[in-house]
């Protein structure tokens, strides 16, 4: 790694306004048609001075000023201990041939990565607008449902009330008519029997007065005849019992009260009339409360953090097939060392191994060395600068 440092005034007239510098480097560098990928890191800047460790090779820097990112500035870092910012910028500017072409390709790759990030941001904004539109539609649907329920409830209550009142009126009229008919029939029948008894008594009295002879009508026989006719008819007590069995006006009023009580049920006093129910359902506070409860629900499209999903790290650690891929604490995704298909993701070890197999232009076989930064720094320059030596910092 080479320590690159120097004032940012070398590349901008707004050096004091720069707060960060984004460094884009090639994660893997090979000659010819070897694999080349971009990796970014951010370096904080104070006082307009820049300093950072950068791996030798093609790279690019972008200045962050007031939250805006400048165009990428290509740099070419040599395999030495230290270089100034001016030196690496001039080296990229003065590069020729294949080196200049490689730098241009890398800058285009950095711009393409930046464009993908901007595109993802636009997609997020579009999804946000769609979610807000969905919430508005849900709110409108909820209000329409509330109005439909309110109107339907009032219609059902009025229909039930009208039906109950009509049925009660019909039952009351029928009961009163039955009472009147039964009473009239009973009185008519009683009057007829009394009239028959009076006629029999008149005939007996006339016969006695006219001196009817023996063997004809006698007073005892006439009296018995009257008793038999009266005895064959209903007793007055039975008629009175029949009349008492019919509902009287108080009973009819009680039946009406019971029917109304059945309609009201266990409703509270504040809601036991049609007027009170209508006032409650049309109260803006009731509709507003329902809308607020609906607004508190999660939208159909939303995200969760790892902490909000129970047991996700344990479940995904050993999952295979179509399961969710787990990202380790180092923000890396583990894949098999050797890919089993052309479209499979390749591990770092596999890429390093294949890169080491390539033959450099000098004709010397590459030697891949792997170790920590401290171990690499401990190597002699002779080892690090040897032909075909490739260092992999882990």
Residues 161 and 249 in one domain: yes
According to the model, what pLDDT value does residue 83 have?
A: 93
Position 34 scores a pLDDT of 46
Residue 327 lies in a domain: no
**Residue 366 counted as domain residue:** yes
Determine the structural domain holding residue 15 and report its residue range: 1-95
Give domain status of residue 308, yes or no.
Answer: no
Tell me: the pLDDT tens digits for 265-309?
777 777 777 788 777 767 877 777 767 777 777 677 777 776 777
Residues 289 and 386 in one domain: no
pLDDT above 80 (res 114): no
Q: Domain for residue 189, yes or no?
A: yes
Same domain, residue pair 49 and 179:
no
Same-domain status, 51 and 196:
no
Q: How far apart are CA 30 and CA 356, in angstroms?
A: 9
The verdict on 267 and 160 lying in the same domain is yes
Domain match, 230 and 148 both? yes
Residue 390 pLDDT level (bands cut at 50, 70, 90): confident
Q: What is the pLDDT of residue 31?
A: 42
Residues 84 and 204 in one domain: no
Give yes or no: residues 344 and 209 share one domain.
no
Task: With respect to residue 256, please indicate whether it lies within any of the assigned structural domains.
Answer: yes
Last residue of a domain, one of 232, 265, 295: 295
Pair (217, 351) in one structural domain: no
Domain co-membership, 86 together with 150 = no
Decide if pLDDT at 209 tops 70. Answer: no
Most confident of 29-38, 187-196, 385-394: 385-394
Q: Sorting pLDDT into bands at 50, 70 and 90, what band is 8?
A: very high
How many whole angstroms separate alpha carbon 258 and alpha carbon 55?
94
Residues 207 and 143 in one domain: yes
51: left (phi over 0), alpha (psi -120 to 50) or beta: beta
The answer to whether residue 246 is domain-embedded is yes
Q: What is the pLDDT of residue 394?
A: 82
Residue 327 pLDDT more than 60? yes
Q: What was the pLDDT predicted at 30?
A: 46
Q: Confirm whether 174 is domain-assigned.
A: yes
Beta-carbon contacts of residue 243 (< 8 Å; ≥ 6 apart): 179, 182, 183, 186
Domain-embedded: residue 34:
yes
* High-pLDDT (> 90) share of the chain, %: 10
Tell me, what CATH number does 59's domain have? 2.60.40
212 pLDDT higher than 60? no
Are 287 and 365 contained in the same domain?
A: no
> Is 60 exceeded by the pLDDT of residue 315?
no
Burial bucket for residue 61 (CB in 10 Å: 0-12, 13-18, 19+): buried
Please name the residues in contact with 164: beta carbons below 8 A apart, sequence gap of 6 or more.
259, 260, 263
Higher pLDDT, 145 or 288: 288
- Answer whether 61's CB lies under 8 Å from 73's CB: yes
Number of domains in the chain: 3
| pTM score of the predicted model | 0.29
Task: Kindly state the average pLDDT of the residues 317-346.
Answer: 68
Q: What are phi and psi of 77, to 5 degrees?
A: -95, 130
């Amino acid at each position: 790694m080479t320590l690159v440092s120097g004032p940012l005034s070398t590349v901008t007239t707004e050096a004091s306004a720069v707060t960060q510098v984004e460094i884009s480097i090639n994660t893997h560098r090979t000659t010819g048609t070897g694999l080349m990928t971009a990796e970014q890191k951010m370096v904080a800047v104070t006082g307009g001075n820049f300093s950072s460790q950068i791996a030798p090779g093609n790279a690019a820097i972008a200045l962050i000023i007031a939250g805006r990112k400048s165009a990428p500035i290509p740099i070419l870092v040599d395999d030495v201990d230290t270089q100034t910012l001016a030196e690496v910028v001039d080296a990229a500017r003065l590069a020729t041939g294949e080196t200049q072409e490689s730098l241009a390709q890398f800058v285009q790759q950095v711009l393409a990565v930046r464009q993908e990030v901007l595109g993802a941001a636009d997609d997020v904004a579009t999804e946000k607008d769609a979610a807000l539109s969905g919430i508005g539609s849900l709110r409108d649907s909820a209000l329409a449902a509330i109005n439909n329920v309110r109107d339907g409830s009032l219609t059902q209550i009025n229909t039930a009330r009208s039906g109950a009142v009509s049925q009660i009126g019909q039952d009351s009229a029928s009961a009163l008519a039955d009472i009147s008919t039964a009473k009239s029939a009973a009185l008519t029948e009683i009057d007829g029997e009394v009239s028959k008894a009076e006629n029999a008594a008149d005939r007996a009295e006339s016969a006695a007065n006219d001196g009817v002879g023996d063997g004809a009508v006698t007073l005892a026989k006439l009296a018995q005849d009257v008793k038999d006719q009266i005895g064959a008819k209903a007793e007055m007590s039975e008629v009175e019992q029949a009349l008492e069995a019919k509902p009287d006006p108080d009973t009819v009023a009680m039946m009406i009260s019971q029917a109304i009580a059945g309609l009201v049920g266990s409703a509270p006093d504040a809601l036991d009339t049609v007027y009170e129910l209508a006032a409650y359902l049309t109260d803006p506070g009731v509709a507003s409360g329902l809308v607020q409860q609906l607004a508190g629900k999660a939208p159909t499209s939303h995200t969760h953090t790892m902490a909000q999903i129970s047991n996700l790290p344990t479940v995904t650690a050993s999952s295979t097939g179509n399961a969710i891929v787990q990202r380790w604490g180092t923000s890396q995704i583990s894949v098999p060392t050797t890919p089993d298909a052309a479209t499979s993701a390749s591990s770092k070890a596999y890429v390093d191994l294949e890169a080491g197999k390539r033959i450099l232009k000098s004709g010397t076989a590459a030697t891949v060395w792997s170790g920590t930064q401290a171990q690499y720094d401990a190597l002699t320059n002779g080892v690090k600068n040897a032909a075909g030596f490739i260092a992999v910092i882990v």
